[in-house]
Amino acid sequence: MEMSGDVCYENVNFTSESSEDRGLKTEKVPDLDKEETCLYSYVDRKPKELQQQNAEPSKVTEPTTPDPGPEPEPGPQPGPGPALRCGGSKRSISRAVAVCLALLCALLLAAFTALGILYNQFRENERDQLQSKYINVTQERDHLLISYSNMTRLRDQLNTNYANLTRERDQLQTSYTNVTRERDQLQTINTNLTRERDQLQTSYTNVTRERDQLQTINTNLTRERDRLNTINTNLTRERDQLNTSNTILTTERDQLNTINTNLTREKDELKKRLRNVTSCFAGWTQTGCSFYYVSTEQKNWTESRQDCRDRGADLVIINSPKEQEFLNNLTKRVWIGLTDTVTEGNFIWVDGTPLTTPKYWFGPQPDNDPNTPGSVGEDCVEIYYTAPRHPSAPPPTTWNDKKCDSDNFWVCERMI
């Protein structure tokens, strides 16, 4: 049996039926999975056939020896010699010799049988060792050669004699050597692949760590990018709004510059006029953009207003807390340009505008006191300085309605 990279075994059956049927009967094993079955079948039958050969030497034949044909018929056997017929002692000797020969044959037969059994045991032990080695090597080969699924099936015929079995052993040893060499090569390849795998695993770990770091950086950058995009969008919106505001403010600035230029021109003209008017308003007090004349005599409300008109002015109209404070600081009762002579309770200024705000009525005023003797009502308004008499109601709430025919000081106002 030959063992190489591609192995095929044949099942060999030994028969001893007759001289014509002696020989080999072969049976092809179709695939590699029956490889061990071929070997076990042959080896298991071999000791039994050797025992039969030892027990029946006449039926043991060599498989490779051609059939010798039918054995010759035994010829007539020579009879016993004349000496054996002569007396009983010779018969006894012959019987003893025959018994000795028979015992010798039996001993020889037993010796041959024992030798055959020992030989068979020796061959079985050797076969078992070879089978164990072969199984181990085959298992290692199967583990190392997973990628090899099929092997070329080639099996040579097995001979039935010891020489074929010896050759089979040598072939198994050669196969064991080859498989061992292949195993060593595969182990070397496996070692190299393991080293490369470890290097690749290390590289994979490093690359995975770098990937995670890059993912974290990418996430942070994405978040920062989104934040910057939001900021950029807001800044763009603000920029557009600022551009619009700037355009509007630029337009307003130009308009204000124009207005400022015009106002500057008007201011210069007013200054000129003011210098001219100041010389004409001797005895008048300037506060803000108005000149005020405070009388030194007392008249009723109508005569006081007429005096103001004669001076090119009119009774004072209070438009701000500052102006009210100015009048309170005079610390005397004076007529102002506020009356409800047209409609009772509907006070209007002398320029025709209704009283809205500010309002500086003192206490329960206006009360249009009807209990005043000879009074038809209080329709004109005066500054009634109450601090000396009513400390709980200090300025600026100093307005009071009073009869228009009462005499009072008055204050004229002329706008610049």
Q: What is the DSSP string of 259-300?
A: HHHHHHHHHHHHHHHHHHHHHH-TT-EEETTEEEEE-SS-B-
Most confident of 32-36, 102-106, 383-387: 102-106
Distance (Å, whole) CA 294 – CA 275:
21
Q: Please report the sign of the dihedral spanned by the C-alpha atoms of residue 375, residue 379, residue 385, residue 387.
A: positive
Which of these ranges, 41-55, 267-281, 362-376, has the smallest mean pLDDT?
Answer: 41-55
pLDDT of residue 376: 66
pLDDT digits (tens, 9 = 90+) for 66-93: 444 444 444 444 444 444 444 567 788 8
Q: Is the pLDDT of residue 32 over 70?
A: no
Residues 220, 228: contact at Cβ < 8 Å? no
> Would you give the end-to-end CA distance of the chain in angstroms?
141
Residue 146 φ/ψ, nearest 5 degrees: -70, -35
Select the more confidently predicted residue: 52 or 323.
323
Confidence label for 171 from pLDDT (cuts 50, 70 and 90): very high
Distance (Å, whole) CA 404 – CA 379:
6
Averaged pLDDT, 322-332: 88
pLDDT of residue 179: 94
Q: Domains of the chain by range and CATH?
A: 10-62+88-186 (no CATH), 280-415 (3.10.100.10)
Q: Please report the sign of the dihedral spanned by the C-alpha atoms of residue 378, residue 383, residue 389, residue 393.
A: positive
pLDDT of residue 137: 92
pLDDT of residue 10: 42
- Tokens 């002329």 appear where? 414
Q: Does residue 154 sit in helix, strand or coil?
A: coil
Give the pTM: 0.36
Taking all residues of the chain, what is their mean pLDDT, rounded to a whole number?
Answer: 79
Parallel, antiparallel or unpaired: strands 314-315 and 399-402:
unpaired
